[in-house]
Structure 1
Amino acid sequence: MNNHYDVIVVGSGLAGLAAANRLKEKGYRYKVIEASSRTGGKVQSVQRPESGHSFELGAQFINPEMTELMKWIEHAGMQLTETATPADAVSMMYPAKELSSDAIDEHEEKLAEWRTDLQGDDLRLSDLISRLSLTDTEKQAVASRYAELINLPLDQASARGVIELMTRYTSEQEDSHQLNAPLADLIQYMTNTVSEQICYDEAIVNIEETASGYRAVSDNHSYEADAVIMAVPPAVASKLTYSPALENLYRQALNSYLNGSIIKTTWVYDDPFWYDYDLNGDKEAIMDVVYTDPSGVTVVDSSKQGDGYRLTMFIGADAAKDIAKQSRREQMETALNLLEYVFGSPARGFKDAEQSVWVDEPFCGGGYGAAVQYGGLPDAAEILRTPHGPFAFAASELAEQFPNHMEGAIRAGQATVEQVIKLKTRQ
């Protein structure tokens, strides 16, 4: 069998699927090699025909400015639906039971200013947050939010790395929408067009350079190509070995990333009791809650219009790692207890629920994505975005826009195809 291709794509998450579809569109001979038994990566859905409910285990929320994702949604004949949160809903810090302040909302501007002040130096993200001109409760809320967003303990995270990540997310729109169908349906649509070229359950362990290009090697097979796109998260890609030239260029940047940890739990209710919450004597509709104890926990209203009432909890960083050691039943009960602390006994009146644990996942990594650790290279993403000949990395974490989001993954996959094809044709 002739195993030489124009391009090999390693990984079939959104970045890999976007790259494969672009390669097919351009008429190249390609192969997608997937380590697991499915496509989609961190986009995964559970559907329950008996109840009519579906749950997103990973990525879920969409910003209408995510134009490349929107194109795929339109091609698949799907639509967005707005998250059904009341317009006057508020954000709350708990257990202080205080409203989130304007100062918290504006803190990112101050962090961005410090990017210049650091002048090449780095800090732990925890140290940088401690410098913010906020109350202790506000600082704790900001720290908790970041622990959930980057899924790492803040004393392990690079401040410059996080600021660099933030500067690549330029949209001011909220992630206010969801797909009107399970995201797995969109993944299947993207998969169907390239399905004959996907090889499953084949974990690549080594990338070698050859006289004619590259060789991707698994425990059982090898595949040769003129070009390679590594469409896997950087912390996962760091587990592979590479040719000496690639190791020299990329090893330090790859090792700069740590996988995050996140546990996601969604409950379905008949009654949206959080729309009538007693906040210090006032009735408020709650949009989201940031816990300061334990840190790294948030709850959001994830109700879709016409699809019932839902709350979704995200438990990140150290809290996620600790809970991941529990049994599945204990994990669900721990999350429910946290919800009950805020909303009382109505929290236990759910009619359906689902939970996913993204901790130390071998092929997708953990959390929403990987983040640059303190002591790593703050510009690791830029290094990994830069191709070496017709070899390049493509991952949401590396995207020049919308990093750590579905949109970023799609843009990264498509952009990398253009890069490696351009370099391939020069050879």
Structure 2
Amino acid sequence: MGTRENKPVDVVIVGAGLAGLSAALKVKDEGLSYVVLEATERAGGKVHTEISEDGKRFYEQGAQFVNSEMTGIVSLIKESGMELEHTDISEESIVINEKNKRVIELRESEGEKLLDNLSITSDAPLSEVLDQSIDTKWEKRMLKSYIAAETTVNSEHINAKSAGKLISRITTHENELKYQANGPLNNVIAHLEKQLDEAIHYCEPVVSVMRSGGKYEVRTENNNVYTAKAVVLAVPPTVGTRIELDNQLESHFGRALDSYLDGSVIKLTFVYADNFWSHHKVNGKEKKVFGVIYVGNEGVNVMDSSKGEDENRLTMFIGGDKAKDLVNVPPQVRENFALDRLTEVFGDTAEEYKDVEESIWVDSPYYGGGYGAMVHTDGNSDAELVLGKPFEQVVFASTELAPKFPYFMEGAIRSGRQSSERLINDLKR
């Protein structure tokens, strides 16, 4: 098959997730010509909704939760014709350990204080920092499990200094899980796609970005070549490593890209007729359980994902190494694993579910895994600064690089906007 040249543009945006779509809108608003190249048959990346055959029930396969401080995604939810609904959480809701039903006060733990301490300077594994700083064995195990579930990477693989910097970029004063959209988040993606006209080219996996004659040639697996003055690589860093870069770009961005380790998560949502976890006995008293951290199964947690008048739902997140262990077993084995964990806490009632939906984000060649990639122990703790700053009219954008709310939808939006603004400023010089 011969090479097919396309009409030159000012900017090529690689990736049509929230970061790429947001970057494209900024470029469009500046009156520049552009094209968006998406490797798969759909836009949205890790924002994807599965709708039941009868259309009465939908599940967010990936990103799901927001709060009012996440102004970018909240605006898009409302612009796409939806409203926010409260997640079923209150001041009285508690998080417990699975074995002894012990109430977990994360913000009062020594580990949480440690993670909030932004003076962490060691590139050692985060697990080592926790081991050296926390005396209680149970608290160490609890926090490691919490971290593996929240970041979808086990703490032994995470660069401690980078983790401290990451926490400093999550500055919200409101629960990150406070709201959900009252409709499918696919609506947000469709709203963005509509604004970008015919500029998105689907099923165009990019294989190389090369400099030629003062411009860039972006080549896809289909042997299509797109020529541009500038390029926004709106893909997770781990996906970026699979794209061949011009020697000068590789020299500049290579180590930063190689600094990341993909997260891994399996998400199972169970639908119930009754929210039995709202009347759960803890130490002889009836309590509303919002979440469970499984200290004995590192990387596993459960949360109440019910909202408004919707059905009662519990969502289990299996993150990090545990997700990698379970990804290759039959679906029924994963479901049984999840049900065993739920019955361990709530009894046989947990087996009386109406429906269950599973989504897997492990080792995706185009979306990455988990909620995002984390800087590993041999990586550059400043990698996000390198990738998010334009070099020779090329810049990266992804939720990992966000100035605020990294690893959330809001982070992807802000990273896409910021990276494209910086690139546009470079082009104007």
Question: 1:204-247, CA deviations, whole angstroms, 9 ceiling, x for partnerless residues?
Answer: 11110122321111122111101100000011111111111111
**Pairing partner for 1:264 from 249, 261, 267:** 267
In the alignment, does 2:410 pair up with 1:392? no
SS at match of 2:299: strand
Distance 1:117 1:106 in 2: 14
Q: Which residue of 1 aligns with 2:126?
A: 125
The question of whether the paired residues in 2 share the 8 Å contact of 1:148 and 1:297 is answered with yes
In the alignment, does 2:186 pair up with 1:203? no
Could you tell me how far 1:116 is from its partner in structure 2?
A: 2.8
The within-5 A match list for 1:319-398 is 319-398=322-401
The question of whether the paired residues in 2 share the 8 Å contact of 1:12 and 1:231 is answered with yes
Distance 1:5 1:40 in 2: 23
In structure 2, relative to structure 1, the CA distance for the partners of 1:309 and 1:253 (3 Å cut) is same
SS at match of 1:116: coil
Q: Which residue of 2 aligns with 1:34?
A: 38
Could you tell me how far 1:26 is from its partner in structure 2?
A: 2.3
Distance 2:407 2:20 in 1: 15
One-letter code of the match for 1:265?
Answer: L
Distance 1:218 1:327 in 2: 34
The question of whether the paired residues in 2 share the 8 Å contact of 1:390 and 1:419 is answered with no
SS at match of 1:292: coil
In structure 2, relative to structure 1, the CA distance for the partners of 1:12 and 1:329 (3 Å cut) is same
In the alignment, does 2:15 pair up with 1:11? yes
**Pairing partner for 1:423 from 423, 426, 429:** 426
**Pairing partner for 1:80 from 81, 84, 89:** 84
The question of whether the paired residues in 2 share the 8 Å contact of 1:46 and 1:54 is answered with yes
Could you tell me how far 1:325 is from its partner in structure 2?
A: 1.1
SS at match of 1:131: helix
Q: Which residue of 2 aligns with 1:311?
A: 314
Q: Which residue of 2 aligns with 1:409?
A: 412
The question of whether the paired residues in 2 share the 8 Å contact of 1:20 and 1:194 is answered with yes
Distance 1:195 1:363 in 2: 23
One-letter code of the match for 1:354?
Answer: E
Could you tell me how far 1:146 is from its partner in structure 2?
A: 0.5
The question of whether the paired residues in 2 share the 8 Å contact of 1:389 and 1:420 is answered with no
Runs in 1 of length 4+ with deviation above 6 angstroms?
none
One-letter code of the match for 1:338?
Answer: R
Could you tell me how far 1:373 is from its partner in structure 2?
A: 0.4
Distance 1:164 1:73 in 2: 29
Tell me the TM-score normalized by structure 1: 0.96
Question: 1:122-178, CA deviations, whole angstroms, 9 ceiling, x for partnerless residues?
Answer: 110111111334532222111101011121222111111111111111112102100
SS at match of 1:46: strand
The question of whether the paired residues in 1 share the 8 Å contact of 2:387 and 2:396 is answered with yes
Distance 1:41 1:191 in 2: 13
The question of whether the paired residues in 1 share the 8 Å contact of 2:403 and 2:415 is answered with yes
In the alignment, does 2:146 pair up with 1:142? no
Could you tell me how far 1:42 is from its partner in structure 2?
A: 0.4
SS at match of 1:424: helix
One-letter code of the match for 1:203?
Answer: P
**Among the aligned pairs, what percent are the same residue?**
37
In the alignment, does 2:205 pair up with 1:193? no
- 185-194 or 82-91: bigger deviation: 82-91
The question of whether the paired residues in 1 share the 8 Å contact of 2:7 and 2:227 is answered with yes
Could you tell me how far 1:2 is from its partner in structure 2?
A: 4.2
Q: Give aligned pairs, total.
A: 423
In the alignment, does 2:64 pair up with 1:56? no
The question of whether the paired residues in 1 share the 8 Å contact of 2:58 and 2:184 is answered with yes
The question of whether the paired residues in 2 share the 8 Å contact of 1:103 and 1:134 is answered with no
Distance 1:3 1:164 in 2: 42
Q: Note the residue ranges of structure 2 that are not aligned, 5 or more in a row.
A: none
In the alignment, does 2:94 pair up with 1:90? yes
Distance 1:130 1:24 in 2: 50
The question of whether the paired residues in 1 share the 8 Å contact of 2:94 and 2:290 is answered with yes
Distance 2:56 2:359 in 1: 19
SS at match of 1:224: strand
Distance 1:247 1:389 in 2: 12
Could you tell me how far 1:391 is from its partner in structure 2?
A: 0.9
The question of whether the paired residues in 2 share the 8 Å contact of 1:104 and 1:138 is answered with no
Distance 2:23 2:56 in 1: 33
The question of whether the paired residues in 1 share the 8 Å contact of 2:259 and 2:378 is answered with yes
In the alignment, does 2:283 pair up with 1:293? no
Distance 1:103 1:200 in 2: 44
Question: 1:301-333, CA deviations, whole angstroms, 9 ceiling, x for partnerless residues?
Answer: 111111111101100011100110101222222
The question of whether the paired residues in 1 share the 8 Å contact of 2:6 and 2:226 is answered with no
The question of whether the paired residues in 2 share the 8 Å contact of 1:389 and 1:424 is answered with no
Could you tell me how far 1:71 is from its partner in structure 2?
A: 1.9
SS at match of 2:294: strand
Distance 1:296 1:307 in 2: 27
Distance 2:290 2:191 in 1: 32
The question of whether the paired residues in 2 share the 8 Å contact of 1:275 and 1:285 is answered with yes
In structure 2, relative to structure 1, the CA distance for the partners of 1:14 and 1:171 (3 Å cut) is same
Could you tell me how far 1:202 is from its partner in structure 2?
A: 1.0
**Pairing partner for 2:119 from 111, 116, 120:** 116
SS at match of 1:311: strand
Distance 2:110 2:171 in 1: 15
Q: Which residue of 2 aligns with 1:157?
A: 158
Q: Which residue of 1 aligns with 2:183?
A: 181
Q: Which residue of 2 aligns with 1:70?
A: 74
Q: Which residue of 1 aligns with 2:29?
A: 25
